């Protein structure tokens, strides 16, 4: 090989080397620019992510602090605030995942704006509930005051009722005493107004076929019994009609009584017992003595022996007598 050819080859190789170096230099320059731009973008992303993280933490912490400051003695309100804090924490974690896995800053900012709106909504909700609780507390206080007033009124009225009950019991007792006294007085007046009778007599009569009557002393001959007694003067009794119950008791101790002939049952004012009587006689009494007679004519005849007579006025015994039929 000639010297000129060798030089030509060396020059060609040198040119190729120079071109290769120029190409490599250009590539390295381009790659360096790309890397520089990527590094700058990465730095910007990290810086923006840090800013958003800091803002997210600040927003969350401020929200938690604000909600905690709204707590009080109301358990329902405190429970609501704790629930809201849990929801805000879940929202914060969601935004953190967006930044960590996707670097979606716009989405994260949107979610943060929603979190602030959510906080405002929570605060408004808590304030409304607090206002309602304060209103209820005011109502409870008012009701408590009303209850105290009513309780005081009730205590006063109970005291008055007890006093009235004491007075009523005293009045009832006094009324009962007065009633008993009036009863006793009425009884005394009734007893005092009883018209006493005396001279009780009895006459037996035999009714003949011609209708004429003849006196008889033997029971087997007596068809009719005429009983008479005298009333006494009593100025306590008001003048007017007076009723006398006549009770004829036969020798066997039985009261002669036939309802068809005017017999009946009366109450003995002294014993309160029911007593049968033979006949009742009503007369016009004018506070003067007089005679009253009755006829007893049964179809069964009479038994011989001693008969007793009891005469009642106003339910009390006014007089007694007896007679004998042979």
* pLDDT for residue 177: 67
d(CA 121, CA 149): 42
Distance CA 55, CA 256 (A): 126
* DSSP annotation string for 60-100: HHHHHHHHHHT--S-HHHHHHHHHHHHHHHHHHHHHHHIII
pLDDT of 222 reads 93
pLDDT of residue 85: 80
pLDDT for the residue 41: 60
Closest CA to 256 of 247, 264, 243, 244: 247
Q: Name which of 255, 236, 238 is nearest 246 in CA terms.
A: 255
- Spell out the domain ranges in the chain: 3-133, 195-325
Q: 195-325, superfamily in CATH?
A: Immunoglobulins (2.60.40.10)
pLDDT at residue 3 in the model: 65
At 186 the pLDDT is 56
Mean pLDDT, each 10-residue run in order, the chain (326 residues): 69 79 72 63 66 78 83 82 84 77 73 80 82 82 82 81 79 69 59 92 90 89 94 90 95 94 93 95 92 92 94 95 94
What is the model's pLDDT at position 285? Answer: 93
* Predicted pLDDT of residue 239: 92
| Integer Cα distance of 76 and 289 in angstroms | 101
pLDDT of residue 127: 84
71 within 8 A of 81, measured Cβ to Cβ: yes
């Amino acid at each position: 090989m000639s010297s000129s050819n060798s030089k030509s080859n060396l020059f060609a190789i040198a040119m190729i080397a120079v071109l290769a170096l120029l190409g490599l230099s250009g590539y390295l320059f381009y790659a360096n620019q790309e890397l520089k731009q990527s590094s700058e973008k990465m730095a910007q992303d990290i810086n923006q992510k840090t800013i958003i993280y800091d803002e997210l933490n600040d927003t969350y912490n401020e929200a938690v602090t604000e909600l905690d400051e709204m707590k009080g003695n109301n358990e329902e309100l405190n429970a609501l605030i704790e629930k809201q804090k849990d929801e805000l924490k879940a929202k914060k974690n969601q935004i953190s995942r967006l930044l960590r896995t996707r670097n979606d800053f716009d989405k994260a900012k949107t979610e943060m704006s929603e979190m602030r709106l959510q906080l405002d909504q929570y605060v408004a909700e808590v304030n409304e509930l607090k206002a309602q609780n304060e209103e209820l507390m005011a109502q409870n206080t008012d009701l408590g005051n009303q209850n105290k007033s009513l309780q005081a009124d009730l205590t006063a009225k109970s005291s008055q009722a007890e006093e009235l009950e004491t007075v009523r019991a005293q009045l009832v007792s006094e009324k009962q005493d007065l009633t008993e006294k009036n009863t006793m007085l009425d009884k005394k007046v009734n007893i005092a107004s009883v018209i006493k009778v005396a001279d009780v007599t009895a006459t037996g009569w035999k009714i003949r076929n011609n209708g004429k009557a003849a006196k008889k002393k033997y029971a087997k001959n007596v068809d009719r019994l005429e009983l008479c007694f005298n009333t006494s003067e009593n100025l306590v009794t008001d003048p007017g009609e007076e009723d006398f119950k006549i009770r004829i008791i036969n020798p066997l101790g039985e009261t002669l009584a036939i309802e068809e002939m005017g017999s009946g049952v009366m109450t003995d004012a002294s014993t309160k017992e029911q007593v049968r009587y033979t006949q009742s006689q009503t007369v016009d009494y004018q506070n003067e003595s007089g005679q009253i007679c009755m006829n007893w004519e049964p179809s069964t005849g009479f038994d011989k022996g001693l008969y007793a007579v009891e005469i009642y006025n106003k339910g009390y015994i006014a007089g007694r007598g007896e007679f004998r039929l042979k």
